[in-house]
Amino acid sequence: MKIAIASDHGGFSLKQELIPWLKEKGLEVIDCGTDSEDSCDYPDYAKKGCDEVLSGNADFVILCCGTGVGISIAANKVHGIRCGLCPSPEIAALVKQHNNANAIALGGRFTEPALAKEIVEAYMNAEFMGGRHQTRVDKISALED
């Protein structure tokens, strides 16, 4: 599995915690920046991470900003991306099971690294349920047109 990860300055520290953990699990990681805690704009990094998914270079993207809200809003503006803000493992699993999300967002200032790892693990272990959820995902995709 190949995972893209991107953050702004508010999510940089959490991103830096997740990268070695993902690699230790044998996963390939594409770091889409940022590279420091210097102030920057989360939409730029949301786009970089989402582009890796849309191009087929990554299976999904983990996006981190201070709250997770701004970067998730930006990601959801990218055609073809479905991003869910995941404050808990339960929500992360549902984001995949019900919404077939290809992006998850985490709040770097509100999510401890241990919890973030549980969230990512729950998302990766979940499977899209299809059925009635596919109908809803199709309707979401139609909103982009």
Q: What percent of the chain has pLDDT over 70?
A: 100
pLDDT in tens, 111-129: 999 999 999 999 999 999 9
Residue 37 reports pLDDT greater than 90: yes
Catalytic residue among 64, 65, 83, 86: 65
What kind and span of H or E run contains 10? none
Q: What percent of the chain has pLDDT over 90?
A: 99
Question: In terms of pTM, does the model score above 0.85?
Answer: yes
Residue 145 reports pLDDT greater than 90: no
CA distances from 135 to 6, 99, 141 (A): 30, 10, 10
Q: What are phi and psi of 109, to 5 degrees?
A: -90, -5
Average pLDDT (26-33) is: 98
Q: What is the mean pLDDT of the chain?
A: 98
98 is an active site residue? yes
